[in-house]
Amino acid sequence: MAARLDVRKTYKLYVGGKFPRSESGRSYEVTDAKGRFVANAAMASRKDARDAVLAARAAFAGWSGATAYNRGQVLYRVAEVMEGRHAQFAEEVARAEGLTAAKARAVVDAAIDRWVWYAGWTDKVAQVAGAANPVAGPYFNLSVPEPTGVVAVLAPQASSLLGLVSVVAPVVAGGSTCVVLASERRPLPAVVLGEVLATSDVPGGVVNLLTGVTAESAPWLASHEDVDALDLAGAAPLPGEDATVDWGALEAAAAATLTRVVRPAGSATSEEPAVEPDWTVLPDGPRRVLAFMETKTVWHPKGR
Amino acid sequence: MPTFEYAPAPESRAVVDLQPSYGLFIGGEFVDPVDGTSMKTVNPATEEVLSEVAVGGAADVDRAVKAARRAYERTWSRMPAAERGKYLFRIARILQERGRELAVLESLDNGKPIRESRDVDVPLAAAHFFYHAGWADKLAWAGLHGAALGPDGVPLPLGVAGQVIPWNFPLLMLAWKVAPALATGNTVVLKPAETTPLTALLFADICRQADLPPGVVNIVTGAGATGAALVGHPDVDKVAFTGSTAVGREIARTVAGSRKKLTLELGGKAANIVFDDAAIDETVEGIVDGIFFNQGHVCCAGSRLLVQETIAEEVVGRLQQRMAQLRVGDPLDKNTDVGAVNSAEQLQRITDLAAVGDAEGAQRWTAPCPLPENGFWFSPTLFTNVSPAHTIARDEIFGPVLSVMTFRTPSEAVTKANTTPYGLSAGIWTEKGSRILWMADRLRAGVVWANTFNRFDPTSPFGGYKESGYGREGGRHGLAAYVKEA
């Protein structure tokens, strides 16, 4: 008897809560760690990136206006739904990153726990970073962090799932929305994460995931006037490879609209290649959440 | 105008599976008490016996503390903090999943309206676990100044917490106590109130469903003697109590001279202060919510209404109009506003204090609400002609009784509001923001509500000044009560 032929999945973009192909009609071949063909992924265009920014902007009012408690519940729900797809993620990660099954499972464990970690920060970050300021006068004076807006995220190139979650979760935990360029060569775990987000009470448009060529899309996002912040984590190349992205140039492009920039780790200047950090290390507090928040200070007089 | 009557809208009891009797929850299982005594728990709305519940003696308390100590040393304090947090997230989720069951059981055992148990007690209890779950692995960032730190720089737990809670919010007070204790790495022995043990016993089943390691949470039911045995147990590192100021004083004496850490959340006699520019409709709703929420069995209830003289007559008139609309009766009816008084004993206390109000010359007005025949009931009541010296203006009644007084200036309002040994909460009603803040600076109370009342949130610290106790529960500040000092 002939073996059953499996039905293969089309890996698409995740924009505004939907799964479109690239409007450009382009795709590119994704291989496993040994170079064998796995699937064709959509190659996002400048128009796709702009559409994604529109979707993220449209989702911002609702997401930033939700209570921190509600956002925490939603992030925790993402962890719950990921847990149910644990095996699928482990398979994708093993294939993309060339890990053993056991190591891939550990990566998925850590990625799920990372959502839980940031779920817990949603309603605590204001308590840790906010302050009642004792100004020298009859005024009530309170500083609180508020989400910055739309964040463009270059997801890490090597750590296709744990690295991705480690940069996306803090953005949405703080109440911002984002457009994410997935790992260029290891994009498929990001697409599966999109499928989880679509079924986890995360409103459409809060997280938008683009697959494609980082060096092509990143400049459009860096210079986009409606992008408020830029995370350059994905500017670090895969280990042993040359950088395809000049993060200094992206930061300079972002300067036009004073877009906030989180620089990649591991190099003194952008002339040296950045180095991707070890994402299994637990984050050092809410630094990444606060990187995408503004401090608002409110004054109010006191008097009879 | 036609009058529309409400049809009965009772919530089904079928969702609750009551056992004829309950043992003590020690070391992860239900066990019989050593000396074998038990007590009945009653539905205060019908006087029907709901179940027989074990009365824990000193030997049972000792067994529970030992189980908590063992769990602390062998499991809970050694577990990675993130895993501890994940247990709390599980508990939060199960509280949400079994929310209706908990709400119905709470209303049956306590007498509070299902609208409140369903919309306030249970969701807040779940939220409390959710919030503290997140803290478990973030204590290093909580700014707990002066805490003893472990090798990883994380504040250390105390060990075993003995917790005694009241009957007015049985499940919610359990959550306020258990969630922060567990999040910070302590294990607990909890003594629920004598008259409302059932949701705590259901919580034991929730711990089982969450696979919480045995002994992390132990529940010893009983009365005052059980609580005293727990508080006095030499191997308890931390005592947390919510209840009356009288018992709080006794506990403070018991603990004196030991190294036990103590937090007390005690009585109150909150002033609810209404200025002449307040939005009158919202204010009247707020006053009603402030004193008649949960039959007035609320330590932070706005039991002293201070109204600016110029609008006193209007406010009292509108208040009476509104009170006449309150629906007193079956706690399980979804249209009920005011449920049953929790016990015959409490009903007697309310009745006696109201009689003192009459005797001292205050003017009583009772809402013309029909009351059921069986059970323990007290109609929403308002006293005017009250002076600050009257007993009903000074003593905590813990029932649906409001004492109305007047003032002329903001300073006079502050003086009158602060003329009490209590200092738990206060309310301010005015459209002038600067006045709210000016007043808030001067009120000697741990929680000040402005243009709202009786608001609670797990992120918001709660607790009193003066004889309303010390320590805070909830928020970043509440964590401090459960970590070791350096």
Quick one: pLDDT at residue B447?
A: 98
Q: What is the mean pLDDT of residues A155-181?
A: 98
Nearest to B307 by CA among B340, B342, B338, B272: B272
Structure-token pair, residue B351: 């009745």
Rg (CA), chain A: 20
Average pLDDT over residues B337-366: 98
Of B136, B143, B438, the CB nearest to A128: B143
Distance to chain B for A144, nearest Cα, Å:
14
Mean pLDDT of B157-181: 98
The encoded tokens of residue A123 equal 């309603």
User: What would the mean pLDDT of B120-134 be, rounded to a whole number?
Assistant: 98
- Minimal Cβ distance to A302: which of B85, B441, B476: B441
pLDDT, position B482: 98
Give yes or no: residues B113 and B183 share one domain.
yes
pLDDT in tens, A218-252: 999 999 999 999 999 999 999 999 999 999 999 99
pLDDT at B132: 98
Chain B residues with CB under 8 Å of A304 CB are 410-411, 434-435, 438
Chain B residues closer than 8 Å to A120 by CB = 85, 133-138
Across the range B191-207, mean pLDDT stands at 98
Domain membership of residue B146 (yes or no) is yes
Please tell me if residue B87 touches chain A, with a CB cutoff of 8 Å: no
Q: What is the pLDDT of residue A168?
A: 98
Contact B141 A301 (CB under 8 A): no
pLDDT tens digits for range A61-120: 999 999 999 999 999 999 999 999 999 999 999 999 999 999 999 999 999 999 999 999
Contacts of B133 in chain A (CB under 8 A): 120
Note whether residue B4 is domain-resident: no
Judge contact between A193 and A161, C-beta under 8 A: yes
What percentage of chain B reaches a pLDDT higher than 90?
98
Residues B290 and B218 in one domain: no
Based on the structure, what is the number of domains in chain B?
A: 2
| pLDDT the model gives residue B36 | 75
pLDDT digits (tens, 9 = 90+) for B408-462: 999 999 999 999 999 999 999 999 999 999 999 999 999 999 999 999 999 999 9
> Which residues of A are less than 8 Å from B136 in CB distance?
120
State the distance between the two ends of chain B, measured CA to CA, in whole angstroms.
70
* B52 noted as active-site residue: no
> Over the stretch B40-89, which tens digit does the pLDDT of each residue have?
999 999 999 999 999 999 999 999 999 999 999 999 999 999 999 999 99
B334 and B247 in a common domain = no
Q: Do B86 and A116 touch (CB under 8 A)?
A: yes
Is B332 found in the same domain as B237? no
Cα separation, B399 vs B111, whole angstroms: 13
In angstroms, what separates the C-alpha of B342 from chain A's closest C-alpha? 32
Pairwise CA distance, residues B328 & B340, whole Å: 8
- CA trace torsion B179, B183, B187, B190 (10° rounding): -10
For chain B, give the longest Cα–Cα distance: 74
pLDDT band (50, 70, 90) for residue B340: very high
Structural fold of domain A27-301: Aldehyde Dehydrogenase; Chain A, domain 1 (3.40.605)
What are B154-163's pLDDT values in tens digits? 999 999 999 9
Reported confidence tier of residue B39, pLDDT bands at 50, 70, 90: very high
Q: How far apart are CA A234 and CA A182, in angstroms?
A: 8
Annotated catalytic residue: which of B299, B300, B467, B473? Answer: B299
Residue B194 lies in a domain: yes
* 3-class secondary structure, A48: helix
The answer to whether A217 and A234 are in contact (CB under 8 A) is: no
Q: Is B348 domain-assigned?
A: yes
| CATH value at residue B148 | 3.40.605.10
B485 a catalytic residue: no
* Cβ under 8 Å to A: B residues 137-156: 137-138, 140-143
pLDDT of residue A2: 77
| Confidence band of A1 (pLDDT split at 50, 70, 90) | low
pLDDT over 90 at B2, yes or no:
no
- A119: chain B residues, CB-CB within 8 Å: 89, 134
pLDDT tens digits along B234-248: 999 999 999 999 999
Per-residue pLDDT, B3? 75
Q: Are residues B433 and B470 in the same domain?
A: no
Q: Output the average pLDDT for chain B.
A: 97
Question: Which pLDDT does position B362 carry in this prediction?
Answer: 98
Q: Residues B276, B237: one domain? A: no
Min distance A304 CA to chain B CA atoms (Å)? 5
Residue B460 class from Cβ within 10 Å (0-12 exposed, 13-18 middle, 19+ buried)? middle
- Output DSSP code: residue B74: I
How are beta strands B401-407 and B381-384 bridged, if at all? parallel
Whether B127 has its CB under 8 Å from any CB of chain A: the answer is yes
Confidence band for B35, pLDDT divided at 50, 70 and 90 = confident
Same domain, B406 and B289: yes
Q: Give the mean pLDDT of A42-49.
A: 98
The residue of A69, A122, A142, A298 whose CB has the most chain B CBs within 10 angstroms, and thus the best one to mutate to test that interface, is A69
Kindly state whether residue B44 falls inside one of the protein's structural domains. yes
The closest CB to that of A117, out of B82, B458, B476, belongs to B82
Same domain for B223 and B95? Answer: yes
DSSP A94-155: HHHHT--HHHHHHHHHHHHHHHHHHHHHTTTHHHHH-EE---SSSEEEEEEEEE-SEEEEE-
The CA-atom distances, in angstroms, between B87 and each of A57, A249, B182 are 36, 46, 9
Residue B143 and residue B26 share a domain: yes
Average confidence score pLDDT of chain A: 97
The residue segments making up the domain with residue B119 are 21-266+466-482
Whether B368 is in a domain gets the answer yes
Is the per-residue pLDDT at B279 higher than 90?
Answer: yes
Predicted pLDDT of residue B1: 66
- Shared domain for B260 and B298, answered yes or no, is no
Which among B175, B197, B199, B198 is positioned nearest to B188, based on CA atoms? B175
Cβ–Cβ under 8 Å, residues B200 and B124: no
Predicted ipTM?
0.95
- Catalytic entry in B116, B265, B396, B467: B265
Domain of residue B312, CATH code:
3.40.309.10
